[in-house]
Structure 1
Amino acid sequence: MSRRIVVDPITRIEGHLRIEAETSADGNITGAWSSGTMVRGIELILKGRDPREAWAFAQRICGVCTLVHGIASVRSVEDALKWSIPANAQLIRNLMIAAQHVHDHVMHFYHLHALDWVDVVSALKADPKATSALAQSISSYPKSSPGYFADTQKRVKQFVESGQLGIFAGGFWGHPEYKLPPEANLMAVAHYLEALAWQREVVKLHAIFGGKNPHPNFLVGGSPSPISAGPGSSGAAATTVNIVTLDEVRQIIRSMQAFVDQVYLPDTLAIASYYKDWFARGEGLGNFLTVGDFPSKGMGDASTNFIPSGVILGRDLSHIEPVDLRDPAQVQEFVAHSWYDYAGGKKTGLHPHQGETRLNYTGPKPPYEQLDVDSSYSWLKSPRWRGKPMEVGPLARLAMLYANKHEPTKALADHVLRTLDLPLTAIFSTMGRTAARTIESKVLADQMMNWLDTLVANIKGGDLSVQNTTLWEPSSWPKEAKGVGFMEAPRGALCHYVVIKDGLIDNYQAVVPSTWNAGPRDAVGQPGAYEAALMDRHHLHDPKQPLEIQRTVHSFDPCIACAVHVVDPQGEELTRISVR
């Protein structure tokens, strides 16, 4: 007899996500449906505005991806108006985006995803001396003494004995699917707390180049922070990039490299070694899309992207399909199972430049028992590439870099697989998705130093340019222009599409990573990435504690706030959602 399991809300994510899963009598998941439960509307707010200010609004789509929507927005306008930016501005953007990746991946691993694998309460049973020996056997990280782990254990004990687990509340502690020994749990909890302090220093890089964090400043046509060849006065040093602040950036990158090398990577390998069975479940689609990022010669020359663009179908790493984001035959969004409508009907697919945001809620009034999965059941749309559902994100980028024989990525991925005694196909999984983030963090942290060295060399050579203002006046723009600003956000392919008419925004559509991954079924019934992954060899030990569902959904690092929004053009509430 089948059973419907409802997980609402999925916690430890950005935004509101509901998952419904149907299980067979033996507990195997046979059907899954992903529902974003907030209303989308940011595109309506941007209509009629000056495109040069769009980034300031679009960036507020999310408070976690603090800069990626700003970058995608300025790139969309630059693409529409054929507005090139100086090399230094591109290097600064690369550094800011890469810092977001490393920061985001570490935060996701320890604070959003690790607790799916780490039993916090079990850490109370650990021997601090044995924990120290374990930590020192896998890493040279200096904070590995018995006293350090004993102090961490005392802090956790205080949480537990108070009856208020605080940041560790809501976990399925004691679940039989937790497999780490107490010492590994204590080590991971200590590093969970350590990462909280580490991330406060890392975000300073965004403040140096963008003035603040979260939501640093940007500029269509370049970078907002001027460069000074000297150290700058005390007043200028706070607002310009100079040799003092660039040295601080260097120290931040070193801190990132040290934490990734000595903590994040060893912890990933240690935890994954106890969950090797999760390298054989949770893939789903087998189709992967990247749009490319980190160019060395501007967004117009894809051949210089550090992360290449392309599509991999059916895990076939020997063949890469080219991607044209402007081609209506390649990229379309569907609303067949979404609470939206199109003028051409629910089964129509629209390219984002012709995209529509027509709200059409026909579902049950919350709270409700079950979604009407045969009709509409999500505030997310369903993007497709040539009609096919795609997974985007770190696993897609790992597959693309591996297929392109990028040596640092390939070498590190092979090292991880050898260490765990796994085949290459193991990366296509829930745990493979998690390992891909770790691999990417090291590759990007190391590459950041190269970009910084190039920036410093440019400055020493006399190139201080960070802005191109030649197209700043709308009188020089064409009457109508279309652009797409794309990038690889930490969670995957992000595209902002803009249509400019008479100097103002006529249409704006954001196709975000969690729309690709978390979207519902399309007009022909194809599931999205979350849905397909949950139907890939999942068994629930206890339907009342759906830890297995959380593991796979969290492996995508959901950011539903990026995919759905909650105000109309006047800023008024459109609907109120409550959960049971």
Structure 2
Amino acid sequence: MVQVTVDPLTRIEGHYRINTEVNDEGVITEAQSNGLQLRGFERLLQHQDPRDASLLSQRICGVCPVSHGIAAANALDDLFGVAGEVPITGLLMRNVHQALNFIASHAAHVYLLWGPDLANPAYHDILAKYGDVGNAVWKELQGRFAPLIYQVNGTSYPAGSSYLGAIVEFRRLHDAISLIAAKMPHPVLQHVGGVVYSPTIADIEQIISYVMKVMEFVKASTLGISPDTWIENTYRASSPEKAVNFVIGHLQELLNKSLTSKDFSHSAGWGDVPLFAAFGSELIGEKLLGLPISMKMDRGGTYKDPDKIGFLSYGVFFKPENGDGYDPTSPADSRVISSGYMNGYFKSDKFDYRKILESTNHSFYIDDINDRPPWNGVTVPEGNPENIDYTKGSKSRYSWAKAPHYDGIPCEVGPITRMIIMEEPLVTGLVKTFQDNGYYPVNNYTRMIARMQEILVVYSELMKWLTQDLQAGGKVAVHTDLSMAKSSTGMGLWEAPRGALGHWVATGPDSMVTLYQAVVPSTWNLAPRNSQEIPSPVEQALIGTKISAAENALGVDYSNPLGILHTARSYDPCLACAVHTIDKTGKHPDSIIKIV
């Protein structure tokens, strides 16, 4: 047995450590997910004016501040009793704001955080076994996804073309957000009762221009075909089978041309998604398309016991047809991407926020209650440094992240969950295809396909809001005053790019905050074990995964643990959201801490 620890896991947001035990066959048999900083952001809002939450909570994360701002604003709508009155223009502005952030965040993950692993030198040696075709594919992977500082055997190579191109589009999307929200990160658009800015016709037209420019990159680099053609045949397909058949047929057509010419370039129609879709999966590439080799990412990051995993979405994006106001509990079908829960066998159930609990049994917190709902949450950190040790194994406390669970079951949250619950045709069809062929449908490959597909889903809805629904100069907020928050509670349910995001707030007789709790996506995905000793989603996904590239195709290499890297990064970790620091010196009491 070999202990393999990745500390820190790089190319993520925040500070994160993964500890594993690996057997002689190179299979991970044990895993601990370690959040390395103290969680305590909720304490910063104690005794504050609750209206500050939509701004202050954004400092939780610079990648997804939009999501925290909207979740906080939703919680304040509930707290002030105005959720049912928020004008439709204000809700659509929240939609547009979030959609731009979704696309930007997903693009950053696909190209800048996760994509560089496709240029890992191990894949050169694996693909080289496929002769000239394999070498041509490797040339494309390296030429597209290599990061800024990239060396192989002492030779430096330039950063990948898609990697660099995505940085430009990421900036463009931030410019679009800044147009209506003043700046990015930490924009200032969201507020209790709606938003603080009503768009002009020029604003709407400029955002459309930004988005269409991004889609030029998607056409040229990401897909290799028109985004509208892809959407029409996948997201808008009449059945899951037709969506999958379109993608398989498209890949087969590309292969028929390229296997002879050995040209897998962008100019030959090989967008980044088709290239990954064909060569990333054993099932799609080898069994359905007849390729002799693949990166076998559909074998890693799976769940081995469906009884111990669930899939949870709070729902996101308000439906324009519902008009003013919304239900803070996010009933099924009340949002464009629906709330819902699926068990590990993909059986659906309605979402019920009352089933959400957090455990601190394996976290560095002090609490005499095993499981608490977030509306009664407690954040009391362990104060004795001698009791903080990440190395004592799974039976100890080993993380600063709490362990959320839904009706006792840890849940994966994020793009693949949302796409499955909303029954998006392509991802739903892939689930059935993998099931029919004896694979567990949620794995490192399908997580990334779902994230890529969600970019197109959100783009499609965003263009509808901008061209049909959003009205310039409309009313964007309802009046509120502080007295409306006296001795009240509020809940804000939303989805960040990485998954389910909830904010809970309570106030006292003076309308000041007495409780603030945030349960964030990376707390769901990257938690330690819960009170029932069930590992978190990432821990379950790691256990049983092979440590090295393509199912240990080159043998066991503990020094290049791509099984860990692919699996952990497939969740798009954001430990800045999951763990935070507070002052313990006593010089700055909680009641006067300010974030600037």
TM over 0.5, shorter chain: yes
1:194 maps onto 2:165 in alignment:
yes
What letter matches 1:490 in structure 2?
P
Question: Cα offset for 1:425?
Answer: 5.4
Question: Cα offset for 1:122?
Answer: 9.0
Tell whether the 8 Å contact from 2:71 to 2:494 is kept in structure 1 after alignment.
Answer: yes
Match of 1:483 in 2: 490
Match of 2:260 in 1: none
Match of 2:148 in 1: 167
In 2, distance between residues paired with 1:191 and 1:539? Answer: 27
Match of 1:305 in 2: 335
Relative distance call for 1:299 and 1:120 in structure 2 (3 A) is farther
Relative distance call for 1:369 and 1:52 in structure 2 (3 A) is closer
Tell whether the 8 Å contact from 1:80 to 1:498 is kept in structure 2 after alignment.
Answer: yes
Relative distance call for 1:288 and 1:369 in structure 2 (3 A) is closer
What letter matches 1:263 in structure 2?
S
**Structure 1: gaps of 5 or more residues:** 136-145, 157-164, 176-185, 227-240, 403-408, 575-580
Q: 1:340 aligns with which of 346, 365, 369?
A: 365
Tell whether the 8 Å contact from 2:34 to 2:399 is kept in structure 1 after alignment.
Answer: yes
Could you report, residue by residue, the CA deviation over 1:324-369 in whole angstroms, capped at 9, with x for unpaired residues?
22x2xx1110000000011x34xx1000111000111567588x78
Tell whether the 8 Å contact from 2:545 to 2:563 is kept in structure 1 after alignment.
Answer: no
Q: Percent identity?
A: 31
Question: Cα offset for 1:546?
Answer: 1.5
Match of 1:464 in 2: 474
Could you report, residue by residue, the CA deviation over 1:75-119 in whole angstroms, capped at 9, with x for unpaired residues?
111112221311011111101111111111111011100111124
Tell whether the 8 Å contact from 2:39 to 2:580 is kept in structure 1 after alignment.
Answer: yes
Match of 2:227 in 1: none
Q: 1:562 aligns with which of 577, 583, 591?
A: 577
Match of 1:61 in 2: 60
1:279 maps onto 2:237 in alignment:
no
In 2, distance between residues paired with 1:389 and 1:415? Answer: 23
Match of 2:540 in 1: 532
**Structure 2: gaps of 5 or more residues:** 224-270, 282-295, 549-555, 591-596
Match of 2:191 in 1: 219
1:255 maps onto 2:282 in alignment:
no
Tell whether the 8 Å contact from 1:253 to 1:448 is kept in structure 2 after alignment.
Answer: no
Match of 1:139 in 2: none
Question: Cα offset for 1:417?
Answer: 9.2
Using the size of structure 1 for normalisation, the TM-score is 0.78
In 1, distance between residues paired with 2:422 and 2:178? Answer: 30
- Tell me the secondary structure at the aligned position of residue 160 of structure 2: helix
Tell whether the 8 Å contact from 1:518 to 1:530 is kept in structure 2 after alignment.
Answer: yes
> How many matched pairs?
496
- Tell me the secondary structure at the aligned position of residue 349 of structure 2: coil
In 1, distance between residues paired with 2:567 and 2:167? Answer: 24
Using the size of structure 2 for normalisation, the TM-score is 0.76
In 2, distance between residues paired with 1:571 and 1:225? Answer: 38
Tell whether the 8 Å contact from 1:3 to 1:22 is kept in structure 2 after alignment.
Answer: yes
Q: 1:448 aligns with which of 440, 457, 462?
A: 462
Match of 2:79 in 1: 80
In 2, distance between residues paired with 1:466 and 1:190? Answer: 41
Mapping for residues 34-45 of structure 1, pairs under 5 Å: 34-45=33-44
- Tell me the secondary structure at the aligned position of residue 199 of structure 1: helix
Mapping for residues 411-426 of structure 1, pairs under 5 Å: 411=426, 414=429
Relative distance call for 1:552 and 1:476 in structure 2 (3 A) is closer
In 1, distance between residues paired with 2:441 and 2:448? Answer: 9
- Tell me the secondary structure at the aligned position of residue 449 of structure 2: helix
Tell whether the 8 Å contact from 1:98 to 1:448 is kept in structure 2 after alignment.
Answer: yes
In 1, distance between residues paired with 2:202 and 2:10? Answer: 41
Match of 2:202 in 1: 244
Match of 2:374 in 1: 352
In 1, distance between residues paired with 2:438 and 2:466? Answer: 33
Match of 2:268 in 1: none
Could you report, residue by residue, the CA deviation over 1:240-294 in whole angstroms, capped at 9, with x for unpaired residues?
x212221111112212333334422431220232221211321226420001011
In 2, distance between residues paired with 1:399 and 1:20? Answer: 30
More deviation in 263-272 or 246-255? 263-272
What letter matches 1:333 in structure 2?
E
Match of 2:23 in 1: 24
In 2, distance between residues paired with 1:391 and 1:422? Answer: 22
Tell whether the 8 Å contact from 2:309 to 2:537 is kept in structure 1 after alignment.
Answer: no
Question: Cα offset for 1:384?
Answer: 0.7
Match of 1:237 in 2: none
Tell whether the 8 Å contact from 1:47 to 1:508 is kept in structure 2 after alignment.
Answer: yes
Mapping for residues 128-207 of structure 1, pairs under 5 Å: 167-168=148-149, 173=152, 189-207=160-178
Match of 2:501 in 1: 494
Could you report, residue by residue, the CA deviation over 1:512-552 in whole angstroms, capped at 9, with x for unpaired residues?
00000100011221000110010133234311221220111
In 2, distance between residues paired with 1:369 and 1:36? Answer: 9
Could you report, residue by residue, the CA deviation over 1:389-435 in whole angstroms, capped at 9, with x for unpaired residues?
11000111121122xxxxxx3047648998x9995956410111011
Match of 1:232 in 2: none
Tell whether the 8 Å contact from 2:64 to 2:101 is kept in structure 1 after alignment.
Answer: yes
In 2, distance between residues paired with 1:548 and 1:561? Answer: 23
1:522 maps onto 2:530 in alignment:
yes
Could you report, residue by residue, the CA deviation over 1:276-316 in whole angstroms, capped at 9, with x for unpaired residues?
12113212264200010111234316333011111100232
RMSD over aligned Cα, in angstroms?
A: 3.4
Match of 1:320 in 2: 348
